[in-house]
Amino acid sequence: MLWTLISLFFLWCAFHEVHASLVAPAGFDFPSPVSKPYLALVLALAALFAWPPLHTWHFQRFLSGKATELADNHRAKVHCNTVFDTMLDPEMLFAGHANPRTGEIAIQHPWCDTLRSYLNHPERATSQELESLDLFTHESMHVRGELNEALTECEAVQRNYRAARLLGVPDETARENALQYYNINYQQRGKIGGMQAAYYSDQCAPGRAMDEHLSDSTWATP
């Protein structure tokens, strides 16, 4: 929002400069000529400050489309929260949250950046970057209609491979990443206990009660 306002300010400066070259100011017979270097500078600054919000807007649209696919066409709308959004969010302690009624998914700062850096180099994914992939899949499962956290998380675990592929990660890397999340990050949740335990179940495993037997499941044999 701040970037957009700054960009609009520079656009206004450009407009003002052009306007002054066309209309003579009060008390003058002729308008003042346009200063080309000044005009170029303010237009360049307007474009520079417009870039981050445009980039985020584009990424949110991309994520919304993929989340909708993951949620079996329940319409999802992803919003990447800024630092300010996150500070004002009553659920700021969670990395993200979703509303199954409206399809709105909020991803807290800086998790969209983490997801973006995962997508830039999935073959070198860090543990945190894998968490960001699972966060995206997890919130999409809430939009799909699941509210129980352990079931939601297990549905996400089984679809992280599908999610990574939808987001453009090459097939083999997507499977490795999804399996690594299940084998390491997910199993750690069970060991940590406390709040994390609500997201874990020992029934979330191949052939156990929570296995949905998806043809493209993370743990299906290719």
Query: What is the contact surface with Zn ion in residues (CB under 5 A)?
Result: 149
Nearer to Zn ion, 7 or 132 (CB): 132
Q: Would you say 14 or 105 has its CB closer to Zn ion?
A: 105
Q: Report how far residue 130's alpha carbon sits from residue 144's, in angstroms, rounded to the nearest whole number.
A: 21
Nearer to Zn ion, 42 or 106 (CB): 106
- The distance of closest approach from Cβ of residue 74 to Zn ion in the complex, given in angstroms and rounded to an integer, is 15
Q: What minimum distance in Å lies between the beta carbon of 138 and Zn ion?
A: 6
Q: How far is the CB of 93 from Zn ion (least distance, A)?
A: 13
Nearer to Zn ion, 129 or 153 (CB): 153
Report, in Å, the least distance between residue 162 CB and Zn ion: 18
